[in-house]
Structure 1
Amino acid sequence: MPGLAIVAPSSWKSYLELCKPNVVAEMLFTAIVGMLLAVPGMPPVTTAIFGIIGIALAASSAAAINNLIDQRVDEILNPHRPLPSHYMRSSEVIAFAAVLGSASMLLLILKVNTLTASLTFVSLFGYAIIYTLWLKRLTPQNIVIGGAFGATPPLLGWCAITGEVHPYALLLVLIIFVWTPPHFWPLAIAKQEKYALVNIPMLPVTHGAEFTRLQILLYAVLLFIVTLLPYLTGMSGLIYLVSAVLLGAGFIYFAVLMMHNKDVKTAMKTFWYSIVYITLLFAALLIDHYVRLTI
C-alpha cells in the first residue's frame, strides 16, 4: 500500500535478538540458583556478579553462533530473526560472537576461576558447534545428546562460587538434562512440517508425532523420579519435595493430554508449561535452601 515502508529495527535490537535473551535469561536464572545453593548463606557478591556476566556473555555468544549456522534453516523456521530478515550481515554476527566469547573467557579466568571458564567454554562450543552444526542435522536424538550442553548453567554457577564440581551441582544438571527432551519435543511436534522442509531430523519427522508423544510421556515420568533425588539425597527439604511432586504431576498431566488431544494447541500448551515448570522447580530449590522444613 502507498505510504507504507518496511523499516529495519535499530541495530542494538538486532544484536540483542541474536543473543536469544529469553533463553539466556532462563539459563542465568538456573546459574544463579546454582550459585546460591553452593553455600549455606550468601555467596561473595563480587564473584557472583562477575560469574553471572561471564556466563551471560558466553551464552549470548553461543546463541549468536547458532543464529549464524542456522540462518538458512531460519528462513523457514524463524524468518523474523536478524539474518534471514537481512537486518544484519554474517560478518557482523561473527565479530559480535567472537567479542562476546573472548570477553566471557577473559572475565571468568581473571575474575572467577579457570574451572568455570573451562566448563563454560565446553558448553559454548558444545551447543554452538557440536549440537547446532553436527548433532542437530545428524540424529533424531539430537536434543537428547545436545541437551547435556544446555544443562550446565547451574553447574557453572556452583563452580563460580566454590571452584569445584559438587555431586549436588551434577544433580541439578541431571534434572535439566532429563527435562530438555519433553520440553522441546512438543515444540518440534508443532513445527514438524517445517523441520521436514529443512531436512532437520527431529524426532517427530523421523519417527512420527505419535511416537514422540509417547517419548514425552515417558520422559515426564522419568523427570518426576529424577526430581525426587534432591530430597532423597538430603539436598532439599519438604518445600522442594511438595513443589516437585505437584509440578511433576502437572507435567505428566500435560503429556497424557497430548496423547489424547493430538493438536498443535495442546502441544504448545505443554511446551509453555515446561518453561513454567523448570522455573518454579528451581525457585522451589532456592526457597527450600533458605527456609528448610523437615519432618
Structure 2
Amino acid sequence: MNNRQLAAVSVDQVSWRDYIVLCKPKVVLVMLITAVVGMFLAVPGLPDLSKAFFGLLGIGLSAGSAAAVNHVMDRKIDEKMARTKGRPLPQGRLSPQQALTFSAVIGVLGISILVVMVNALTAWLTLFALMGYALVYTVWLKRATPQNIVIGGVAGAAPPLLGWTAITGVVEPNSLLLVLIIFAWTPPHFWSLCIARLNDYEKAGVPMLPVTHGEEYTKLQILLYSLLMIITTLLPFMTGMSGYAYLIAVSLINARFIYWVYRLWHKPQGVPMALFRYSINYIMMLFVILLVDHYL
C-alpha cells in the first residue's frame, strides 16, 4: 500500500487499539517501571506522590510519542519483516499523517505536563531522549551503522534518570549509575533478538550487527557487553547505594544471564529468542531488587 492510499484511510476504519499499538505499550511499561524505581531510589523515604504521578504520565506520553514516530519512519521496513508487518501502518489501518498527528499531540501534552507539574529539568531531559530515539536513532543511526543500538541506547537508558530528576530536580551520580546499567544491558538484549530475526533484518536491508558482521562476531559482542553489564550492576553496591541483599540477588540473576549467553555459544538453536525474553525479565527483576533493597 503506497503513501497516497495510506493517507486515504477512512476514519471509520481506525480503532483506538491501533493508536495504543503505536505507543509500543510493552516497551513503555518497562521504561516506566525503571522510572518508578528511579523515583523511589532518589529519596530516603517515599517520593512526592503528586510529582511521581505527573512525572510518569509525562514520561509515558513522551515515550509513546517517540514510539509513534518510529512506526512512521520504519513503516517500509516493517512491511518486509514478519515480526512487524502486522502493525497498523503496514496494514493500512492508520496513515502516516494520522500517526504523526497523534504523536505530536501526546508528545506536546507529555512535555507540557512535565514543565507545569514536575520541573523544567525533567522536561528538557525527556525531550532530548524523545528526539534521540525518534530522530537520531530511528531516522539516522538505525540505517547508518551496525553500532546503532549502542549509540542510540543512551536515549533508551534515560527513564530511571528522568524518574530521579522528577522527584529531586537535580542529576546525581547514583542516577547516572542506573542509566549506565541499562546502557550496558541494551546491546545483548537487542542483538539476541537480531540474531533470532536475522532473515527479517537482511530482507529489510537494516545494517544490524548480525547482518553486517555475522552471528559469531555478534555473539562475541553479546558476551563482552554482558560482562560489562555485570560490572555495572555491581556499582550500586560498591558506591553504597545498595546493600548485601541487592548484591546477593543481582548475582543470582547475573548468573542466569551468563548461563543463557553460554548457551548461545554452545547450543544456539532457539537460544537467541530465549535470551531476549530473559533479558526483559532480567531488567525488570534488577530494578525491583534495587527498590526492595532500598527499603530493607
Cα distance, 1:9 vs. partner?
7.9
User: 1:83 maps to what in 2?
Assistant: 89
Give the AA of the match of 2:153: G
Which of 19, 38, 46 is the equivalent residue of 2:23?
A: 19
Superposed counterparts of 1:2-17, under 5 Å: 11-17=15-21
Alpha-carbon distance in structure 2 between the residues aligned to 1:285 and 1:219: 21
Kept in 2: contact 1:224–1:249 (CA 8 A): no
User: 1:63 maps to what in 2?
Assistant: 67
Which of 232, 237, 243 is the equivalent residue of 1:226?
A: 232
2:38 equivalent to 1:34: yes
Superposed counterparts of 1:80-229, under 5 Å: 80-229=86-235
Cα distance, 1:131 vs. partner?
0.2
Which of 259, 270, 273 is the equivalent residue of 1:268?
A: 273
Which of 285, 291, 295 is the equivalent residue of 1:286?
A: 291
User: 1:51 maps to what in 2?
Assistant: 55
Cα distance, 1:182 vs. partner?
0.4
Kept in 2: contact 1:37–1:158 (CA 8 A): yes
Alpha-carbon distance in structure 2 between the residues aligned to 1:281 and 1:115: 26
Give the AA of the match of 2:271: T
Give the AA of the match of 1:268: M
1:140-199: CA deviations, max 9, x gaps? 000001001000000000000000001000000000000000000010001111111111
SS in 2 for 1:228: helix
Moved over 6 A (4+): none
**Ranges in structure 1 where 5+ consecutive residues have no aligned partner:** 1-7
Alpha-carbon distance in structure 1 between the residues aligned to 2:281 and 2:99: 31
1:204-237: CA deviations, max 9, x gaps? 0000011111111111111111100000100000
Of 215-224 and 229-238, deviating more is 215-224
Coordinate RMSD, CA, aligned: 1.0
Q: Could you state the TM-score of these two structures normalised by the residue count of structure 2?
A: 0.94
Superposed counterparts of 1:227-246, under 5 Å: 227-246=233-252
SS in 1 for 2:44: coil
Alpha-carbon distance in structure 2 between the residues aligned to 1:260 and 1:146: 30
Alpha-carbon distance in structure 2 between the residues aligned to 1:130 and 1:95: 20
Alpha-carbon distance in structure 1 between the residues aligned to 2:14 and 2:33: 28
**Ranges in structure 2 where 5+ consecutive residues have no aligned partner:** 1-11
Cα distance, 1:238 vs. partner?
1.1
Give the AA of the match of 1:274: S
* Number of equivalent positions: 283
Q: Taking every aligned residue pair, what percent have the same amino acid on both sides?
A: 54
